[in-house]
Structure 1
Amino acid sequence: MISSFSAPFTRRRGAVRLAAGTLVSGLVVAAVVSTAGTAVADGTAQSQGGATATIGGLKTYGAAVIHDDSGDQTVSAGLFEMSVEGGGTLQTYCVDLHNPTQKDAKYHEAPWSGTSLGVNKNAGRIRWILQNSYPQVNDLATLAKKAGIVGGLTEQDAAAGTQVAIWRYSDGADVDAVDPQAERLADYLQNSARDVAEPRASLTLEGAAVSGRPGELLGPVTVRTDASAVTVAPPLDAAISGVRIVGKDGKDVTSATDGSQLFFDVPADAAAGSAELTVQASTTVPVGRAFTSESRSQTQILAGSSESTVSATATATWAAKGAIPALSAAKNCAGSGLDITAANQGDEAFTFDLMGIEHSIPAGTSRTVTIPLQEDQAYDFTINGPQGTGTRFTGVLDCHTQGDGSALTTQTLAEPSPATVGGASATGTNLATTGSSDATPLIAGTAIGLVVIGGAVLLLVGRKENGAQG
């Protein structure tokens, strides 16, 4: 069951107490502007930027055996391949052994905090394995020598051994590679792994939701990239809307670097409305970036990237008076929920109802609340703004691997269609996977829902009193 609801805006004043409880070769920025009118959802604001790709299945793999209370089961173990929207190819390993891989699932680059890696103390060791094994190390003779393997490694052995070592840290799995060479590699990688920091996003924008009054510079929106220089284009409809993308000096921006601040320059006579800024680049995505799907397809981690298209978006909302909210969201696996940040740069409180609870963001302040969610729970809701626009948040909370000993349903890819080992999906939607269960809940029963309306508790996790957004 997917919970869907809209949070209406109300104009009641007074605060309501919350219930306790990457190498870039080029980049383009464009803006889409909408004015106030009938309520519209201006998109999902929880994406934090990066690559978007479609999974294509296992391409280089061997076999592994998982030992658990239900007995020994053979699974495929190796590298997946993804096709990036806009161009590019990614290679990934699985870090979510007991969930299925859905056919043609769309994946988004994500921070570790929004995945099981965010609550896994060994996540850094997984990144070390990725940096020190196949395909990052494609000299297999050298890799075999480091691992003390006599007789060399095939690509299939290297992929299987690497995946097995990753599973031991990502899922705490009792798993062995079938091939002796692959097993020796897995043991070497597991024993040698050291903690390595999470890589930053291939491309992201800090301050991705801003608000203010017409005639002001709305921002800043800060570019984060490894490029020495990036290119910034003006809004596509700048001649009609008059909205410009400028620097802090008010001059049109034609190039930017890491740390550059961008602003929406909105004409003083503009009607209440909003604009969306899209930043796009060609980049190599850093090894170790997580990739998640909203279709409950198993979480992946990046092992290799070609030059690929990546993007990030930012939104601006403006009005001459009243509440002027800016809304954004991010999954919070440590907090078992979704963090929603609401900033209000208007002259009135922004008050809205969410799941039967009324909330108020005083003028000139920003607050973050965590909506508690169950694991594997889908959500879909819209918070309406005072100018007749709405911000929609959709997704699935997928924060934990399911190392509970449940039976696995595994498949081995045989191009062009998968052959099953140990069972088949009733829907036929699972690709060759590295271990999954048909019993994996899409949502854990109708009693879970988004949160029981009227009984939900929103936890105030941050309160930032300030006079200006940024």
Structure 2
Amino acid sequence: MHGRSVLVRGGIAVASAAVAMTMAAPAALADDGAARGRVIGDAGTEGFSVNFEGGKHFVTKLFGLKLSDGSKLKMYCVQVEVGMRTDQDMIERPWNKYPDAASPFNKNNEKINWVLHHGYPVVSVKSLEGALGKKDVKLTDGLSVEEAVTATQAAVWHFSDGKDLDRKKPLPYEGAEESADVLAAYDYLTGKDNVGIGEQPKPTLDIGPAKGEGAPGTRIGPYSVATNGDITDLTSKLPEGVKITDADGKALKAADIKDGTKVYVDVPKDAKDGNGSFSLKVSGHLDTGRLFVGENYAKVPAQSLIVAESEKTSVTANATANWKQGAPATTPAVPTTPGGAESGGGNDLANTGASAALPLTIGGVLLGAGVLMVLLVRRRRSEA
């Protein structure tokens, strides 16, 4: 993360970020619709400086990135020897668009994602202590935030840049206790438990069709739900007696609705002509593990960043229903009965159990018998 300027502390040179302080306002979106934002120069949580094998020293920090929509992300860096910049936008890119084709990031990105999902701040300091305790790892006096940040960032660099902590003195300016704790958390995050986590999709939600029509006494629908997340909220604006149900008339809650669920608007038979709507919401994060690359990287390389934690984001989808006496359904409306069960076929003829084809069959038999009688009479007359 820090290869441009040199910070001198205690007589030892420590590589640090070259941070350009020109703070222009973030643009809206990249041309391809990708998220974009700017590093917040004076924000973030600092960890300790670390020693790597070979003698290089680097400063660890959990950075802040402000997106153009105002939301804020917490970021670690994944290019330890490229300088960070605050004077250009960072653009979200898929893992396979990492700007250095020769970097270990390309083969280790799932390992990095595992570190992020099991390290700080996704996992709290207390929870990380608990995970280490289950592995019988002894800490000197628990973990501090600084130790957790340091261990997580160092573990990311292990996979993204092939950097290994100097095990004899991992922290150049801290004591033996801090060094031991950081090394313990680092070993856990880079060890055999790390089986990798693939790139996660953004939360998506769709309701189709967006509009439905029918008549009172029917369940208007189905509205098909398509999502890759968990539905966290179902709200409706419907007259009294009209409700959101499944195909059998059972009322639905948010927890009942998943990807592929068919939703209906159940309208009582005595309902007046009217309309209503319902909304679904799926919540998630701009997922931990998302990669952000400098917009002008080809001309002015900027340290690439990866999301360590994000504010929650949500996606909402809406659908409407209209009902009117005698109106044809624009979606396949399901007729209802007072008990909520579906009726037989949607026609107005009473069904008593006899086949509707039976009268035609009897008529055909009688007609055939009449023709036969005429032929017999004619034959007898000719014989006479």
Q: TM-score range by the shorter chain?
A: 0.3 to 0.5
Which structure has the highest strand share of the two?
1
Higher relative contact order (CA 8 A, sep 6+): 1
Which structure has the highest helix share of the two?
2
Higher radius of gyration, 1 or 2: 2
Q: TM-score by structure 2 length?
A: 0.46
Q: TM-score by structure 1 length?
A: 0.38
